[in-house]
Amino acid sequence: MPITWCKDCSESIFDYDGARPHKCPPAFLVWYEGHGDDPEVDHDVVHSHDAESAAEKWAEESDGQGDYTIVQGSDETVKVRPRDGGAWETWTVSGETVAQYSATKVKATP
C-alpha cells in the first residue's frame, strides 16, 4: 500500500484506492516570539485538530530544527489561534526525553 505525505499538512496518507480521501485537519497559526515581533506575520502554520495538539506539533518540529532546548527542559511559550480567525491563546510547551534501551548480541570469541 503506498504511503505518501500530504504536502499541505505533512500528515501521512494511506491510499485505500481513494476510498477515504485525505482531508487536511484545520490550520492553526503558532507564534513564538523568538521568530519575530508580529504574531499576525511571524507565525508558523500548523495543521492539527485543536490548539493544544497544534502547539505540541509546533514544538516537535521546531525543536528538531534547533538545539532540542525544549526537550532538554526549557519550556517555551507560544500563542495559537485558528487560521480562520479567533483569539490568540497562550500555551506553554514542554518536552521530555524517554529512556530507550536496546540489546545487541555479542558474538562469542573463539
Q: Which residues bind Zn ion (CB under 5 A)?
A: 6, 8-9, 24
Secondary structure class of 89 (helix, strand, coil): strand
Minimal distance in Å, beta carbon 6 to Zn ion? 3
Nearer to Zn ion, 26 or 88 (CB): 26
Minimal distance in Å, beta carbon 15 to Zn ion? 13
Whether residue 27 contacts residue 6, with contact meaning beta carbons closer than 8 Å, is answered with: no
Write the DSSP symbol of residue 86.
-
Minimal distance in Å, beta carbon 8 to Zn ion? 5
Q: What does the block give as the cell for 18?
A: 481513494
